[in-house]
Amino acid sequence: MTGPLFTINFRRASWEQSRAEARRRVVRLGVGVAYAGVVGILLGLFGLNCALMSSRTTALERRVQRLRVARAAAPELRLDPADVTLVQRAAANPRLWRDKLARLAELLPPNARLTSLAVNPDRAAAPAEQLRLVISGTIRTGPERDRVQPVVRLVESLRRDAVFAAGFQNLKLISSRVPDAEGAAVVEFVVECR
Amino acid sequence: MLSPAQNVRLRRYRVALGLAVTLAGFHLANALLFEPTARRYERAVRQLGELGLGSQPGGSGRVLPPRLYRLMAENSRRAAEVAELGATGGLATALLETSTRLMTECGVEVMATDPGNVVQSPRVAQVHVELKARARYAQLVTFLDRLSGSGKLIEVDRLNLVSDTPEQVEAQLSLTQYVFKTGPEAR
C-alpha cells in the first residue's frame, strides 16, 4: 500500500484571506506606530523649544530689568558699541594678570626662582599686543646630564595650564643657558608668552 | 451613549478624527504657550535696543552685562568736569590716591609715583600714571586682586618686576584709568 500522492486543501481560499487580513493588520499597525512616533517626536521638540524659549525670555527680561535700574543711576550716560569692548577689557584686565601671576607662582617648581617678569615690555598701545609676558628666572638643577630638561618641563606645564595659558597664542622658551660650564648647578631661562 | 450606527461611523473616521484632534491640540499649545513667550522675547529684545545696549555693529549680538554697565556708570562724570579735572591734574591725582591706598593696604611699599598725561576723547578720558614699588610677590598679587575689585576701570598697561632680594621684588607699574563722559558735550 502506498500513501496519498497529493492532498487538496478545500479551505485554502479562506486561509489565504486570513493571511492577507493579518498582513494588512500588521501594515496598519506599523503605519499607526510610525505616525504616533513622528507626532510624539514633533510634540517633544515643540515642548523643548517652548521651554528653552521661556527660559531665555525670562533671563532677557531679568537683564532688561537690571539694566533699567542701572540706567536710572546714570541716565545721561550714552552708550557706544565700542564702549562694550573697552569696559569688558578694562574690567577684566587686573583680574587677568592676578590670575596669571598667582598661577605662575604655583606652577614654578621649588628649585626655580624668578629674576624678572615683564608685562607688555615693548609698551605696546594696541590692546592685542599688550598681552605679552616675558619671564626670566633660574632653576637649580640636580646631577642630571640634560640640565635644560627642568626648564622644558616648566614651559610645558605653563603651556598646559588652562588659567595661565588663557589668551596666549604662543608660549615658548626664548633662551636657556648654564652660566658656568664646569659644575654649574643653575640654568638661566627666558620664557615669552604672547 | 452612542448608537451602533454612530459607533460604526466614528470607527470609520477615527484616523481623520485623530489627526484633527492632534492638529487642534498643537494649535492650542502654540497659541497658549509659544506665541505669548515669543511676543515677550521680541518685546525684551526691543527694550534692550531702546536702552541703547543692542547688538554690536557686525551683528555679534554682544550686549553689555548690567554689572559692567553699573561699573561704567560708577566711572562716569560730566564731560565738563572731566575736562577740568584732566587739565588741572585732578584725575591723575585721584588715580594715584586710589592705587597707593590699595598698595599700602596690601603691604606694598610705594617708592615713587609719576602722574602721567590724560588723553581726552569725546566719550572717554584715559588717565595714565606710573608707580614704583617694593613688595613681596604675593603682596603684588593681592594688590592686583584688590584693584580688580575696586569698582574702578583701571587697567595694568605695563608691569615690570625685578627680583630685589630672594623675598622682595621691585615693581614698576603703568596704570590707565578710564573715565566716561556724560552730558550733552559727550558725543
- Per-residue pLDDT, averaged over B24-30, amounts to 90
Q: Which of A137, A143, A140, A95 minimizes the C-alpha distance to A118?
A: A137
Q: Which positions 38-97 of B are in contact with A (Cβ < 8 Å)?
A: 38, 40-41, 44-45, 47-48, 51-53, 56-57, 62-66, 68-73, 76, 78
Q: Which residue has the cell 580688580?
A: B148
Instruction: Flag whether residue B28 sits within 8 Å of chain A, measured between CB atoms.
Output: no
- Residues composing chain A: 194
Taking contacts as CB-CB distances below 8 angstroms, the residues of chain B near A163 are none
CA distance A149 to chain B (A): 24
Helix/strand/coil for A188 = strand
Nearest CB neighbour to A71, from listed B45, B51, B186: B51
Q: Which of B177, B178, B173 minimizes the C-alpha distance to B108?
A: B173
- Per-residue pLDDT, averaged over A130-154, amounts to 85
Mean of pLDDT over chain A: 87
Indicate if the pLDDT at residue A81 is higher than 80.
Answer: no
Q: pLDDT tier at A179 (50, 70, 90 boundaries)? A: confident
pTM exceeding 0.90: no
CB contact under 8 A, A53 and B37: yes
Taking contacts as CB-CB distances below 8 angstroms, the residues of chain B near A78 are 52, 123, 182, 186
Q: Which positions 88-117 of B are in contact with A (Cβ < 8 Å)?
A: none
Helix/strand/coil for B52 = coil
Long-range contacts made by residues A145-153, C-beta under 8 angstroms, separation at least 24? A147/A178, A147/A184, A147/A187, A148/A176, A148/A187, A150/A109, A150/A111, A150/A112, A150/A187, A151/A176, A151/A187, A151/A189, A153/A109
pLDDT per residue as tens digits for the range B100-157? 999 999 999 999 999 988 999 888 999 999 999 999 999 999 999 999 999 899 999 9
Q: pLDDT tier at B60 (50, 70, 90 boundaries)? A: very low
Taking contacts as CB-CB distances below 8 angstroms, the residues of chain B near A95 are 144-145, 148
Indicate if the pLDDT at residue B49 is higher than 50.
Answer: yes
Q: Which of B130, B139, B149, B148 minimizes the C-alpha distance to B109?
A: B139
Residue A180 has what pLDDT? 67
Mean of pLDDT over chain B: 87
CB contact under 8 A, A68 and B51: yes
Instruction: Flag whether residue A116 sits within 8 Å of chain B, measured between CB atoms.
Output: yes
Q: From the CB of residue A31, how many other CB atoms can be counted at a distance below 10 Å?
A: 11
Q: Which of A141, A153, A118 minimizes the C-alpha distance to A188?
A: A141
Task: Please state, in angstroms and rounded to a whole number, the distance separating the CA atoms of residues B114 and B103.
Answer: 15
